[in-house]
Structure 1
Amino acid sequence: MHNLRSLPFSWLLALLLAPGTLLAQQHSEQNHAHYVVPKDSLVRQKLAQWQDIKFGLLMHWGTYSEWGIVESWSLCPEDEGWCERRGPYAANWYDYKKAYENLQTTFNPVKFNPDRWATAAKNAGMKYVVFTTKHHDGFCMFDTKQTDYKVTDAKTPFSKNPRSNIANEVFKSFRDQNFMVGAYFSKPDWHTTTYWDPYFPPKDRNVSYSPKKYPERWQKFKDFTYNQIEELMTNYGKVDILWLDGGWVRPASTIDSTISWQRTIPYDQDIDMARIAQMARRHQPGLLVVDRTVTGEFENYVTPEQSIPETYLPIPWESCLTMGDSWSYIPKENFKPARKLVQTLVDIVAKNGNLLLNIAPGPDGEWHEEAYQRLQEIGAWLQVNGESIYGTKPVAPYRQGQWAFTGNGKAFYQTYLPKDGEPLPATVTLSAGTIPAKAEVRLLGYAKPLKAQKTAAGLVVNLPEAARQTASKQAAWVFKLTSR
């Protein structure tokens, strides 16, 4: 993550492909006009399944949690806020990198219990998980055979734990709860010498030498990457999503010079995604491949980071957002209120997206207890109102003021996103756009149908006191409309 943090997230209205249909928008300065629909029917099926489940869990976890710092980025010699080094080794990059990588020798998350995470996520209404098997620093949270910089190496205290192959344990626990499983994998690797060659000290996040000038070295890095991904695709059970980060590792032909951060990529860094995807899908038929920000056939859905589109997008997309302020563990986190998180989910679903919500485990292998509390509150709302989320499609006008619109072919849902302390009034006027000819109206969570009268402005719904009291406990109010 963070590869685009320095950029404003601008969402621009796009050209029209046909009346009422958006051709493209931009997120993080990425142009979606060239989205490629997967040719493989199994991939299309899995993509449709993924679009129906709406809500997932992302976890950033590695040795960096021991220092309570940003994941990986303090190793990167760039003048960006998230790359700032702190602590006793900060003055000298070489000393800092050595001390950072030495965290492997103290990493011992003895409270690691992925079953608790999976149960909490399931009760929250989450349906898929994406776990960091390797971030940019190169430390592997799985038992790779390509490097000893991994959680299962003898230098790591946790390697003696029977659950030391962390990624495998996470995937098993969540799969047992019927989750779709995703492997986050960083394409750049700042530990391996075939990416950051010690002879050529790195100047930034990119490969430290010219791949064109040293093709044999680059081929070794490509093989290293291919082999690690093949390990994840063959030794870790069913995998549904390969979620690739580090979008600067890309062919030169895909660099868009109109996009500021892409202009800083100095080299062609082609790792042969066609070969990787073919191999991965041979082992995992129908696998979704998400080569983030590299528009084309290997970006099966797009992933705005810490942002939400201003309006409906007609292509598959997912906002990856943090539950708190940070992607990685910090001792004191500022978690968003459950009301805000629920309303964020509603907003995203009405615009045709999924929400991937990040929670970061600490060095002991546990989440903040407050994270469990937030999940419980989100789950309570979805227990009542989930039918307006799962398996639905956005319905025009999608989002209008504080209203969000979804439907599933049998029912339409108009969801109101109240401000803090805003009471539900005695009458509410629903938009005429999604009202069946003879409509029955219900407020989800309230047992009885509501009295309603059609007017020129829409459907005026009367809300008895008992219904209003029911709604007062909810983060968002969902009105369900069906034909009588």
Structure 2
Amino acid sequence: MPERAMPDRPTPLDPESLPEPVDVSDNSAALRAVHEVVAAGPFDATWESLAAYEPPRWYEDAKFGVFLHWGVYSVPAFGNEWYSREMYRQGTDAHDHHRATYGEHRDFGYKDFIPSFTMEHFDPTEWAALFRRAGAQFVVPVAEHHDGFAMYDTARSRWSAARMGPRRDVFGDLSRAVDEAWMVRGASSHRAEHWFFMNGGARFDSDVLDPRWSDFYGPAQREETAPNERFLEDWLLRTVEVIDRYRPQVLWFDWWIEQPAFAPVLRTLAAYYYNRAAEWGREVVINYKWGAFAPGTAVYDIERGAVAGVEPTVWQNDTAVSRTSWCWVEGHEYKSVRELVAELVDVVAKRGVLLLNVGPKPDGTIPDEEQRLLEGIGHWLALHGEAIYGTRPWAVPSEGPTVVAAGSFVDGAAPAYTAEDVRYTVRHDVTGDALYAVLLAQPDGGVARLRALASTSALLTRTISDVAVLGSGTVTRWDRTPDALEVAVDGSTTEHSGPVLRIRFAPESDQPRQDFLHQ
């Protein structure tokens, strides 16, 4: 990793410039309004009722969205987006770095980075255009991270981008630009973890102990304790505020909502969101991790993850262009476009959706390398998106010698894919049935060998009528042998993968469609 230039110490926050604290001690009227929406239906706050939820078709067809981690933590740009926690944990690299770079924590704390979060070059229209060129169908910015600084215009806190730092509703501005670019707006909430996130600062002399900043650093409670009712009410009402003010159609939650204390408010929140969506006439998605929601009541999300085979319902992998961090830091270890395309194809073949994160800089620009990665994915999708968007899994999602680890946090070293590693998808539309085979590397001699489509295979009962290559290149010969469907491709210059093949079939009026699609 290259040496990191030490920044000049920013100007600390001026207490005299701050807006007055917001009084949120009485939540009774707001809670009554929430319960009225829940009572009006069609969903009520029980897992049994919420089990009637069905993920929308637009989401399962979309396949690819962009995630954004952008906040005050982008200013120190050290380590990762957990800087606000790690800087207060004695003995960590972030703690030592903070003291050496900015001084003692009591004199310069996390809040003092806010004036440097200027985003003076932020252009939401340019961002949306980039995400559109990347092929994204929906965009999920962080509305509030663990640090408690809202990126949206909230009435429940003075600590927001609308009142401090850039003094603009950056979340709202980006959401409008996403709408105008014909993508779907989303939001992520990491607020739950704020219960304990800055508690390291309560164990030594730091500004976390200063009562002037308790509405920002608090609660800063022990992580061993369950959140109390006041915190749970505030979490619910902050989330409701995002729903009502911005109408996101994807609502993503980080892991700590799996704590048992959250279960009642999660059911209330889900019923509220689904009922509000019914009022709007829109179909929405809640993403959750681990066991926070009952199966079938929302869409399961696996962080930096993969599954072994085809899942029975749509799921999501949230990952990043970088292995190093979700937010902007110096010296990122970036993935390649080829690796990201393979990850997308693997997810889609197994009935998944990929939510890919980038981390903008505090001045409002997206790093050049991250733009290049998004443009590379978009170029590949522009040529081969027919095999991705709107498709469904086939009888088998994949073949080949390279094993993809299943589970969370498995995107370590890039897999060494070969031309024998293939991912399959299918579609049925007005043009007829089609099976797609994406080779994850270029085949030797230009001949692709698809073993799942051998003449002796029981997986395919249809008669192949045509084989074509998407993007560049021409199929000069194909032959179904006892070992494989062999396809010779001439002139393929496909970037970031091997050839992407489309296989069509002779009409068989007596062939049930679902037998072919294997859905």
Same fold (TM over 0.5): yes
Q: What CA deviation, in whole Å up to 9, does each residue of 1:305-363 have, x standing for no partner?
A: 12222333223211111102210101332322111111111111112211111100011
Counterpart for residue 263 of structure 1? none
Aligned equivalents of 2:315 and 2:468: distance in 1? 30
The answer to whether the aligner puts 1:62 opposite 2:75 as a matched pair is no
Q: 3-state DSSP class of the match of 2:303?
A: coil
What displacement does 1:450 show? 4.3
* Aligned residue in 2 for 1:11: none
Asked if 1 retains the 8 angstrom alpha-carbon contact of 2:185 and 2:248, the reply is yes
**CA drift at 1:123:** 1.1
Cα distance between partner residues in 1 of 2:197 and 2:318: 30
Find the structure with the greater CA-based Rg. Answer: 2
Task: Output the amino acid matched with 1:243.
Answer: W
The aligned residue for residue 81 of structure 2 is 71
Task: Write the mapping of 1:390-429 to structure 2, written as runs, cut at 5 A.
Answer: 390-401=389-400, 402-409=421-428, 410-418=433-441, 423=444, 425-426=446-447, 428-429=449-450
How far residue 472 of structure 1 moved from its aligned partner, in angstroms, is 4.9
Q: What is the distance in 1 between the residues matched to 2:50 and 2:355?
A: 21
Q: Which residue of 2 aligns with 1:208?
A: 222
Distance change (3 Å), C-alpha of 1:182 and 1:427: closer
> Alpha carbons of 1:279 and 1:76: their partners in 2 closer, same or farther (altered >3 Å)?
farther
Shift of 1:83: 8.3
Counterpart residue type for residue 307 of structure 1: G
Structure 2 gaps of 5+ residues are 1-46, 210-218, 401-420, 454-458, 507-519
Distance in structure 2 (CA, Å) of the matches to 1:174 and 1:97: 40
Contact 1:36 1:300 (8 Å CA) reproduced: no
Same amino acid, percent of matched pairs: 22
Q: Partner of 1:395: helix, strand, or coil?
A: coil
Is 2:287 aligned against 1:290?
yes
Secondary structure at the residue paired with 1:182? strand
2:272 matched to which residue of 1?
279
8 Å contact kept, 2:65–2:140 = yes
Aligned to 1:470: 492
Give 2:312's aligned residue.
Answer: 314
Residue 130 of structure 2 is matched in structure 1 by 120
Question: 1:58 is paired with a residue of what secondary structure?
Answer: strand
Matching residue within 102, 109, 119 for 1:99 = 109
Could you tell me which amino acid in structure 2 is paired with residue 413 of structure 1? Y
Aligned partners of 1:97, 1:356: CA distance in 2, in Å? Answer: 39
Q: Any unmatched runs of 5+ in structure 1?
A: 1-34, 253-267
Report how far residue 373 of structure 1 moved: 1.5
Q: Which whole-Å CA distance do the structure 1 matches of 2:233 and 2:200 have between them?
A: 15
Letter in 1 for 2:134: A
1:107 Cα shift?
Answer: 1.6
Where does 1:190-229 land on structure 2 (aligned, <5 Å)?
190=194, 207-208=221-222, 218-229=228-239
Q: Which moved more, 1:354-363 or 1:105-114?
A: 105-114
Q: Is the 8 A contact 2:60 2:353 kept in 1?
A: yes
Q: Could you tell me which of 471, 479, 491 is aligned with 1:445?
A: 471
> Contact 1:403–1:416 at 8 Å: present in 2 too?
yes
Structure-2 separation of matches of 1:460 and 1:98: 65
| CA apart distance, 1:94 | 8.8
* TM-score with structure 1 setting the length: 0.75
- Letter aligned with residue 379 of structure 1: G
Residue aligning to 1:21: none
Report the CA distance between 1:171 and its aligned residue: 1.1
Q: Indicate how the Cα distance of structure 1 residues 272 and 437 shifts in structure 2: closer, same or farther if over 3 A, else same.
A: same
What pairs up with 1:52-451 in 2 under 5 angstroms? Answer: 52-69=61-78, 70-75=80-85, 84-89=94-99, 95=105, 99-153=109-163, 156-159=164-167, 164-188=168-192, 190=194, 207-208=221-222, 218-236=228-246, 238-245=247-254, 247-252=255-260, 268-270=261-263, 272-285=265-278, 286-293=283-290, 294-296=292-294, 300-325=298-323, 326-401=325-400, 402-409=421-428, 410-418=433-441, 423=444, 425-426=446-447, 428-429=449-450, 431-432=452-453, 433-434=459-460, 436-446=462-472, 450-451=476-477
Q: Is the 8 A contact 2:86 2:92 kept in 1?
A: no
Q: 1:424 to 1:94 in 2, by over 3 A?
A: farther
Gap change, CA 1:134 and 1:427, over 3 Å in 2: closer
Say if 2:178 and 2:185, in contact at 8 Å, map to a contact too.
yes
Equivalent-residue separation in structure 2 for 1:429 and 1:313 (angstroms)? 23
Partner of 2:403: none
CA separation of 1:219/1:287 partners in 2, compared to 1, >3 Å: closer, same or farther? same
Q: TM-score by structure 2 length?
A: 0.71
Secondary structure, counterpart of 1:110 in structure 2: coil
Indicate if the aligned counterparts of 1:413 and 1:480 stay in contact, CA closer than 8 A.
yes
1:427/1:188 Cα in 2 relative to 1: closer, same or farther (>3 Å)? Answer: closer
Distance in 1 (alpha carbons) for counterparts of 2:199 and 2:272: 22
AA aligned opposite 2:332: E
Whole-angstrom distance in 2 between the partners of 1:317 and 1:405: 17
| Deviation, structure 1 residue 251 | 4.7
- Higher helix proportion (structure 1 or 2): 2
